[in-house]
A and B are shown apart, each in its own frame.
Chain A
């Protein structure tokens, strides 16, 4: 299985801050990388697919970049509703695998 490693596992930031989360794959996955936001008690919501394409309805403050094995999710100006846990997921190979998550807290 392809292992996905996210960092940091948690962070705390102010409203308006720029936040970056990284995701590293155990092998090259081209751009088969997706990002999700999950709020407590809810199912994950797709934010970004194919490493950098914003899913329909997702605010433009979210962006993704990377290819190969290293990827980033950036929130350009953190909003109070962005308090959540973020997961990366590779879809290059079966089984699809997820990172361990990054919990974003608002200071």
Chain B
């Protein structure tokens, strides 16, 4: 059974770069034509999609609201993908989830997130 696990610092100072890693276990990150995504949820608020990376690392998509500050990359040797978010402020305080949209209907992936990590809380504070 495929599982995702986020890791990284729980506290980041304002203006610094937030770095998180998602480790994929129970299967290879390059096994099939999946995207690998990051989603966040500020305390007591709703869900915001951050971006995604294709399974061979050639393609990324970012939320336009964060695009200038976000980098998502793949490390196939470690079966991991990572998130970097620069110039953070208190508004970036959130639970960060890695997730996979892995539901296919016919020949199309439908964009539903069927596998999620447990989430990791990141607080931006000096």
Q: Real complex partners, A and B?
A: yes
Taking a contact as CB atoms under 8 Å apart, the answer to whether A34 and B112 are in contact is yes
**Cα(A32)–Cα(B111), bound, Å:** 8
Interface set, chain A 15-60, CB cutoff 8 A to B: 32, 34, 36, 42-46, 49-50, 53, 55
Residues of B close to A98: CB separation below 8 A: 46-49
Residues of A close to B119: CB separation below 8 A: 42-43
Residues of A close to B65: CB separation below 8 A: 95
What is the distance, in angstroms, from A62's C-beta to the closest C-beta of chain B? Answer: 14
Q: A87-B47, A95-B64, A100-B46 in contact; A46/B97 too (CB < 8 A)? A: no
Residues of A close to B117: CB separation below 8 A: 43
* B 85-126 to A, binary, CB cutoff 8 A, 1 in contact else 0: 000000000000101010101000011111011110000000
Residues of B close to A101: CB separation below 8 A: 46
How extensive is the interface on chain B, given as a class? 20 to 34
Residues of A close to B116: CB separation below 8 A: 43-45
How extensive is the interface on chain A, given as a class? 20 to 34
Known: A1-B64, A95-B49; 16 extra A-B contacts, CB below 8 A, are: A32-B110, A34-B113, A43-B118, A43-B119, A44-B116, A46-B112, A50-B103, A50-B112, A91-B110, A92-B111, A96-B49, A96-B111, A97-B49, A98-B46, A99-B46, A100-B46
Q: A34-B112, A98-B47 in contact; A49/B64 too (CB < 8 A)? A: no
Interface residues of B (CB under 8 A from A): 46-49, 61, 63-65, 97, 99, 101, 103, 105, 110-114, 116-119
Residue of A nearest to B114 (CB): A46
What is the distance, in angstroms, from B34's C-beta to the closest C-beta of chain A? Answer: 14
Which of B47, B63, B105, B113 is within 8 Å of A46, CB to CB? Answer: B113
Residues of A close to B103: CB separation below 8 A: 46, 49-50, 55
